[in-house]
Structure 1
């Protein structure tokens, strides 16, 4: 039963995102009502805006966008689970459903039964959380420590993606790390690698702005992505590939030392990719994928709260909800922006 309406960011089709009034359904006993404060614009949100799809996840009906959100619990779950009303929370956007398909049970992020907020992978689509008020399972909510800056906490979800990617490489203490692609995930990977004790971190990007951000959060030096000779000379023990294109992956392979590790967190398009895999074989590179995250968000929140993960510079812009289209345009321009936030509370921006 519909009890009220709220204002939300809705993707209708390619090049058609609107700030609409949408119904707020009555919560089930295990669900809480959250007043969203900030939401970070992700690459998937941009794809739904520009193309009406993310890979094979195609919009078949209007869908609320957004999965990187923080806010305050307005109404706690009636069954007593989850945070109390008034608690500031971050949101873990994955919900797990039973499946007969095999996957490692200690890695639920690999389950095909996962539903992710703001995803058109299934129909009916899984509505996102870019709304002033949203109903969510209490199990998705992570209580934030007192005094944490909600704007910075809005980075918890993408930082958890970066945290998992870095952890896939093992111990980084004293290692030389190369990060290819210094957008928000790459910059956050730089910060996580710095926290993990990497001795040297080289960040690569096509644009000056992302390289500047990477330097602010821990990169010891930066390189232009066009500098193929410089990248190959890095000779990194660990490479984090976060550009999400085949040229970046080729650079990652070229920049890795013999016997090194390449972690692939940037999601390449579907289909075959022209990658110099022979070089990876002859150098005995360890190539490992990294997809979303599991409980790493809890470690990220703790690290943000204790100050050991200073990631504020990754946020470059914040827009009020009624300027969503401008926010999307800025977020899509990697030459001028890092992470772009939408502010859902009246007066914020």
Structure 2
């Protein structure tokens, strides 16, 4: 198999197939992918054939959290040169011609495309393959101090970094993170790196709590409602995307505090303790993807300002369908994994 790619066909139908030699446009480079991080949206496409409103209607290469090495530079001379180690900003912002959006916040563009997304038809193919053609504008050079494994965390770290910045500053403030999956771990790490006085994470499982504790955070069992309500955190980041997590986030916030809604809740009506949010004058902040922080996050990863110790729990080489299914099954089990990386063989 010359160019194995991880393709979702429908719910429960994940395959590794040869996707052929990529043919780049003039403004695209060919990247030999080293690592790809399995995201929650990838798991949803595999399990359910959809991620929210994005429903599979044709086979789609998954993946948007990737790092690699440029093997063929873009023909138009833009972007990094051959041999450059890179990570990828997977967003292409688009308006829909009728919905207003702030131009300085590209993550809010209403008709955007994202690598490995089924929102549009044809789908936006992802980057879980040995070699892919990508727009040169998506490619960001890596500092010498940032290895390719850690660089695969740049996209989820940017999501977390953006969420923390939604409240302005956390320096000197107490922070609670509800849900200690990969994004929650990175949000806690970002808060610590940005000077939070005290960081607490909550989770149902011991393993993610232990990861956070190793980085100097405190941890609570997510079922300990009394302890969570006594946190009185200045800033709470809800990263679980669950109704109990939303209730816990409001409960954990200090009066007059900030709650960041990072975890994506189910579509439609979601019960929430709004009376408490109102009477305690909580400020609720939505957080979706990220804007222009990507370069800043790469530098923070390179310097260690975002400490990712323990976040990468598994690395699995991918050559066959069984390899991919095994990696996805591990990633879907939050009791035994954090971030699972697929290895495509281009590490240098």
Judge conservation of contact 1:190–1:203 (CA < 8 Å) in 2. yes
User: Residue in 2 aligned with 1:69?
Assistant: 66
Instruction: Report the Cα offset of residue 25 of structure 1.
Output: 3.7
Q: CA RMSD in A?
A: 1.3
List runs of 5+ in structure 1 lacking aligned partners: none
Which runs of structure 2 are paired with 1:259-270 in the superposition (5 Å)?
A: 259-270=256-267
CA contact (8 A) 1:187 1:217 kept: no
Of 224, 231, 235, 2:232 maps to 235
| Greater relative CO (CA pairs within 8 A, separation 6+) | 2
Partner of 1:344: 344
The question of whether the paired residues in 1 share the 8 Å contact of 2:145 and 2:303 is answered with no
**Helix, strand or coil at the partner of 1:211:** helix
Alignment of 1:54-93 (within 5 A): 54-93=51-90
TM-score, normalised to structure 1, is: 0.96
Shift of 1:261: 0.2
Partner of 1:254: 251
Distance in 2 (alpha carbons) for counterparts of 1:250 and 1:196: 26
By how many angstroms is 1:173 displaced?
Answer: 1.4
Q: Corresponding residue for 2:206? A: 208
Matched, 1:168 2:166: yes
For structure 2, the 5+ residue unaligned runs are none
Q: CA 1:218/1:110 → structure 2, altered by over 3 Å: closer, same or farther?
A: farther
Give the C-alpha shift of residue 310 in structure 1: 1.9
Which residue in 1 is equivalent to 2:327? 327
State how far apart, in whole Å, the 2-side matches of 1:98 and 1:23 are: 32
Q: Which residue in the other structure is 1:315 paired with?
A: 312
SS in 2 for 1:267: coil
- Indicate conservation of the 8 Å contact 1:39/1:342, yes or no: yes
Give the whole-Å Cα distance in 2 for the aligned partners of 1:187 and 1:294. 20
* Contact 2:190/2:305 (8 A) holds in 1: no
TM alignment of 1:1-349, pairs within 5 A: 6-100=3-97, 101-219=99-217, 221-322=218-319, 323-345=323-345
Q: CA–CA distance in 1 between the matches of 2:280 and 2:107?
A: 30
Q: Which moved more, 1:45-54 or 1:291-300?
A: 291-300
The normalised TM-score by structure 2 is 0.96
Aligned residues: 343
Deviation at 1:5, TM superposition (A): 6.0
CA distance in 2, matches of 1:169, 1:27: 40
SS of residue matched to 2:310: helix
Distance in 1 between residues matched to 2:77 and 2:87, nearest whole Å: 18
| CA distance in 2 between partners of 1:223 and 1:336 (Å) | 18
Q: In structure 2, how many angstroms separate the alpha carbons of the residues matched to 1:238 and 1:310? A: 20
Contact 1:93/1:140 (<8 A) preserved: yes
Q: Is the 8 A contact 1:205 1:225 kept in 2?
A: yes
CA contact (8 A) 2:22 2:30 kept: no
Alpha-carbon displacement from aligned partner over 1:67-96 (angstroms, at most 9, x marks no partner): 000000010111111000000000000012
Cα deviation for residue 214 of structure 1 reads 1.4
What SS is found at the alignment partner of 1:80? coil
Bigger shift: residues 35-44 or 305-314:
305-314
